[in-house]
Amino acid sequence: MADDIRFDGQVAIVTGAGGGLGRQHALELARRGAKVVVNDLGGSVDGSGGSSDAAKAVVAEIEAFGGQAIAHGASVTDDAGVADLVKTTIDKWGRIDILVANAGILRDKTLTKMELADFEAVIQVHVFGTFKPIKAVWDIMKAQNYGRIVVTTSSSGMYGNFGQSNYGAAKMAVLGLMNTLKLEGAKNNVKINAISPVAATRMTEGLMPPEILAKLNPEYVTPGVVYLVSEDAPTGAILTAGAGVFALARIFETEGVYLGEGGLSAEEVRDSWEAITAEPGQQAYFNGGEQGQKFFRKLAGG
- Output the smallest distance, CB 257 to ligand NAI, in A: 36
Using CB under 6 A, pick the residue from 14, 70, 71, 103 that binds ligand NAI. Answer: 103
Using CB under 6 A, pick the residue from 11, 20, 133, 226 that binds ligand NAI. Answer: 20
Cβ atoms within 10 A of the Cβ of 260, count? 10
- Output the smallest distance, CB 216 to ligand NAI, in A: 7
- Output the smallest distance, CB 36 to ligand NAI, in A: 15
Picking from 149, 154, 159, 151, the residue whose alpha carbon sits closest to that of residue 171 is 154
Active-site choice (146, 159, 167, 285) = 167
57 vs 276, which CB is nearer to ligand NAI?
57
Is 167 among the catalytic positions?
yes
Residue 225 binds ligand NAI (CB under 6 A): no
- 3-state DSSP call for residue 199? coil
Largest CA distance in the chain: 73
| DSSP character string of 94-154 | S---EEEE-------B-TTT--HHHHHHHHIIIIIHHHHHHHHHHHHHHHHT-EEEEEE--
130 vs 235, which CB is nearer to ligand NAI?
130
Stretch that binds ligand NAI, among 37-45, 86-94, 246-254, 280-288 (CB under 6 A): 37-45
101 vs 146, which CB is nearer to ligand NAI?
101
Residue 204 binds ligand NAI (CB under 6 A): yes
Sheet architecture: strand order including 68-72: 68-72, 35-39, 11-14, 98-101, 147-152, 190-197, 238-242, 245-249
- Output the smallest distance, CB 3 to ligand NAI, in A: 29
Residue 240 binds ligand NAI (CB under 6 A): no
Stretch that binds ligand NAI, among 82-90, 137-145, 180-188, 195-203 (CB under 6 A): 195-203
- Output the smallest distance, CB 106 to ligand NAI, in A: 7
With contact defined as beta carbons under 8 Å apart, do 42 and 16 qualify? no
Residue 157 binds ligand NAI (CB under 6 A): no
Using CB under 6 A, pick the residue from 11, 12, 21, 181 that binds ligand NAI. Answer: 21
Picking from 128, 133, 108, 109, the residue whose alpha carbon sits closest to that of residue 173 is 128
Cβ atoms within 10 A of the Cβ of 53, count? 13
E strand or H helix at 62: helix 53-64
Chain center to CA of 291: 24
- 3-state DSSP call for residue 253? strand
Residue 179 binds ligand NAI (CB under 6 A): no
Determine the Cα–Cα distance for residues 22 and 187; give it in Å rounded to an integer.
29
Using CB under 6 A, pick the residue from 29, 58, 125, 181 that binds ligand NAI. Answer: 125
Determine the Cα–Cα distance for residues 57 and 38; give it in Å rounded to an integer.
10
Residue 164 binds ligand NAI (CB under 6 A): no
Q: Say how many residues touch ligand NAI, by CB under 6 A.
A: 33
Residue 28 binds ligand NAI (CB under 6 A): no
Under 8 Å CB-to-CB from 136, ≥6 apart: which residues? 82, 83, 85, 86
- Output the smallest distance, CB 241 to ligand NAI, in A: 10
Query: What residue ranges bind ligand NAI (CB under 6 A)?
Result: 15-16, 18-22, 39-43, 45, 47, 54, 75-77, 102-105, 125, 129, 152, 154, 197-199, 201-204
